[in-house]
Each structure stands twice: as structure tokens, then as C-alpha cells.
Amino acid sequence: MSCWSLVRCLDINAANRSLMHERAVRRHSTIDWTAKYGVISGWSVHLALSLGAQARFSAGTLGPPSLPIYGSYWFVLLCNYKKLHKGFHTLARWYNTKLLGLHLGPFPTVVACDYATVKEVFTRPQFNGKLDCFLSQERSMGKTLGLFFTDDKLWIEQRRFTLRHLRDFGFARRFSPQEDVVNREVLDMVAFLSGSTSIQDHDVFKDGCALMPHIFSPAMINCLWSILASDHFPPESHGKLREVGAAAYFFLKEVQPTGGALLLTPWLRHFAPRTFGYTALVKGTGAVTDFIKVAVKEHKQTYLEDDARDFIDEYLKELKKCDSSSTFSDDQLLMIGTDLTIATSAALPAIISFAIILLVHYPEIQIKAQKEIDDVVGRDRAPSLDDKSRQDPE
């Protein structure tokens, strides 16, 4: 299993340089670049990385050389232009290393390339930092706000506040009102797919075919919205929620995890904004932020000091206590709502879609799962969290 994480780093352990270089040279003869990428491109990579191994070894870093403008990013693109994680994987195999050292433009970078190393990176607080850059500022009113791209004091305070008050309204714990919301959304989804409702939306469901992941966005947003804004969108409004989910998915799909050429050369947005992800960054995030603005505006008009209905009310209450030096602000509230909605309306539906795809490809697992549901729940009622204790632990 491959897992990837990018972290800033200044150097690699000097004691292992000689050994890693020796392994890279041995690995040099084992990869058939010609068969994978064609004669011309294959031998171009072969030659460049052979020279790069020597150049980077003498500089104390194992990885491809740094070229003008984009640094080592040229070689990542050459290995796999569309799927960068596979490009990193190819380079790591070439150098036979778990830590790939390279420059993404001017930024010295290390890519952790196996499960154990990634796990170690995620558990060490030194690697919690995030890059304050053009991309993080452009999506949030010229400042780095929200939860996705922040760190240090702002991230610590805002994350702690967000988790505490989301839990108050049912997030990540047993909470009957929230469980009722989830059950209602499941039943609405079943009714929609079975055709037992008058609501029809041929954009996402027609002739027994469902468009994933967009068909799941309304249910996911409603589950979040009961906590965030104490509100619910009926099935008649699900088209609007799917538009929000599509904008969020557009952002996640088109903006590269590394920032790509847009991060390294922001002026490209003036010439090909869609090609380099600028359109997805601005319009994708912007559509979700506009959705949050409506809810915040309604809450400000109906706010009562002694009656906190949901997370937005709790945040407005905290805002009234804070001075100008605080990390709490109106814009930060908008970006917290934006980040939570993007993750809920796009990332979760994508995960569910992958699960369904896997069940389709492995029907024996699908049969086993259906049998367990029939044994534990039956077919006369909807499942609940109480059924979890009756499941087979294996």
C-alpha cells in the first residue's frame, strides 16, 4: 500500500547518503523506462535521472536535480503528468528510497514513500506546518484562514473550538437528534433510488443509473447542516445542494495537492486559469463560501445571546467576546464553514463511491456484507448504531 505526504525538510541523514546512493545506482538498471513511456521519453528520463543521482548525491540529497523555474517538479511531471502521486512513486522506486528529496520550485521537499514513514511523519508535531502561500490566500479573502491551510496558534485555537462545539451538537458521538437526521437522509435516499417518491432528478439518476459521487452530496450536507446551522433542506432543494457538492468536488479534483505550476508561477492564472487550477480554486471554493454566507447572514439576523442553536451561533457568541488580536473573525467563520462543507459534500461522497465500486468488483464481499445485514438487521426496518454491538467482530 502506498501513501504519500509532503513535508518541508532541510536535509537527509548524512550517515545514510552513501548507502542510499549505492541503492539508487543499483536500481538504475532494473527499471524498463522504454517499455513504460516510449523510446524517446524513456531514455530522456533515464539520462536525466542518472545525471541527477550524481548531482544530488554530491549536494547531500537523494533525488532528481533541480532545474530552472520548477526545480525537480519537471521530473515528477515527466514521470506522470496527470497523476503526480504516481510520479513520486516512480522516482522513489528509481532511487530505492523511502524518503525522496527534491525541490518543488524553490521549496526543499521530502516525500515520505511508505506506510511506516508516513505514519511517523503524521505523529510528529514538527511536521504539522503548512505553507502560507498564494493558493491559501487566494481562496480566503487574501488571508490564510479556515482549517485546511492554517497552522500554529490560529489552527490550534480554531480546531479546538470547532471540535468542541461540533461535538456539543452531535458530531463524532452518540446523539439521538443527529442519529434521527442520518436515518431520515438514508430513508430519503432509498425512496429516491427506488422511485417511490415524486421527486425526480434525471441529472443524477435515470433508468436505474446513478451519478456518483454527486448523488450523495445532499444527504451529506444535510447531516452537517443540522449541526452547523440547525436547518434541513427538503428533497425539493437537493438540486441546490448538488450544485454546492459539484463546486466542492471541482475544487478537490482540479487543484493539485502540491499546488503545481500555479503555486510556483502564479502569473499563469492570467493565461490559462482553468488548465492550471485557478478557476477551480476561486470558483469552486467561492461557490461553497457563498453558500455559507447566506446561513451566517440569517443567523446574525435571528441571533439570541442566551439561545445557541448550533455551531454558527456558538461562533458568533465567541466573536462578541474577542478583541482585534484574536484569531476569531467573521472571515474565519466563513472559511471554517467552507472547509467543513467541502470535506462533507465532496470527500465523503467520493469515499462512499469508492466503497460501492469495490463491492461491484468483489461480489463475494458484497454477498457477505448483505448476509450480515440480513442476519443482524433484517429487511423490515432501517439499521441503527445499536446494531453495531450485534455485528460479527471479524
| Residue 54, pLDDT above cutoff 90 | no
Cβ–Cβ contacts within 10 Å for residue 211, how many?
15
> Quick check: is 17 in a domain?
no
Q: Cα 328 from chain centroid? A: 24
User: Which amino acid does the sequence have at 324?
Assistant: S
- Residues pairing with 104 in the sheet: 71, 107
Query: Which residue do the cell numbers 463560501 mark?
Result: 289
Alpha helices in the chain (DSSP H): 17-27, 33-37, 39-59, 73-79, 84-95, 115-122, 134-138, 152-168, 176-194, 217-228, 238-254, 260-264, 278-279, 285-302, 311-319, 330-342, 348-361, 363-376
Query: Which residue do the cell numbers 465500486 mark?
Result: 357
Q: Based on the domain organization, do 108 and 240 belong to the same domain?
A: no
**Cis omega before residue 393 (within 30°)?**
no
| Residue 313, pLDDT above cutoff 90 | yes
> Quick check: is 64 in a domain?
yes
| Residue 252, pLDDT above cutoff 80 | yes
Between these two residues, 71 and 48, which has the higher pLDDT value?
71
Q: Based on the domain organization, do 231 and 367 belong to the same domain?
A: yes
| Residue 9, pLDDT above cutoff 70 | no
Specify the pLDDT at position 27.
39
Domain that holds residue 357: 152-380
> Quick check: is 98 in a domain?
yes
Q: Based on the domain organization, do 329 and 268 belong to the same domain?
A: yes
Q: Based on the domain organization, do 190 and 307 belong to the same domain?
A: yes
Q: Based on the domain organization, do 312 and 348 belong to the same domain?
A: yes
- pLDDT tens string 182-193: 999 999 998 888
Specify the pLDDT at position 394.
65
Are 106 and 71 in contact by the 8 Å Cβ rule? The answer is: yes
Indicate left, alpha or beta for 256 from its phi (over 0: left) and psi (-120 to 50: alpha). Answer: beta
pLDDT band at 6 (very low <50, low <70, confident <90, very high): very low
- Residues pairing with 67 in the sheet: 71
Number of domains in the chain: 2
| Residue 78, pLDDT above cutoff 60 | yes
> Quick check: is 107 in a domain?
yes
Report the CATH number at residue 257: 1.10.630.10
Q: Based on the domain organization, do 292 and 345 belong to the same domain?
A: yes
Specify the pLDDT at position 8.
32
Between these two residues, 127 and 46, which has the higher pLDDT value?
127
> Quick check: is 233 in a domain?
yes
- pLDDT tens string 14-30: 333 333 444 443 433 33
pLDDT, the chain, mean: 83
Cell digits for 84? 503526480
Q: Based on the domain organization, do 92 and 214 belong to the same domain?
A: no
Radius of gyration in angstroms for the set of CA atoms belonging to the chain, rounded to a whole number: 24
Residues 198-212, mean pLDDT to the nearest whole number: 85
Residues 247-273, mean pLDDT to the nearest whole number: 89
Residues 93-110, mean pLDDT to the nearest whole number: 89
Measured between alpha carbons, how far apart are the two ends of the chain, in Å? 22
Last residue of a domain, one of 109, 126, 143: 126
Specify the pLDDT at position 25.
37
Residues 133-161, mean pLDDT to the nearest whole number: 92
Cell digits for 62? 537523494
> Quick check: is 363 in a domain?
yes
Last residue of a domain, one of 126, 143, 167: 126
- The span from the CA of 155 to the CA of 131, in Å, is 13
Q: Based on the domain organization, do 91 and 199 belong to the same domain?
A: no
- The span from the CA of 240 to the CA of 230, in Å, is 18
Specify the pLDDT at position 61.
53
Q: Based on the domain organization, do 112 and 160 belong to the same domain?
A: no
Q: Based on the domain organization, do 102 and 179 belong to the same domain?
A: no
| Residue 226, pLDDT above cutoff 60 | yes
> Quick check: is 7 in a domain?
no
Q: Based on the domain organization, do 98 and 177 belong to the same domain?
A: no
Q: Based on the domain organization, do 334 and 218 belong to the same domain?
A: yes
> Quick check: is 94 in a domain?
yes
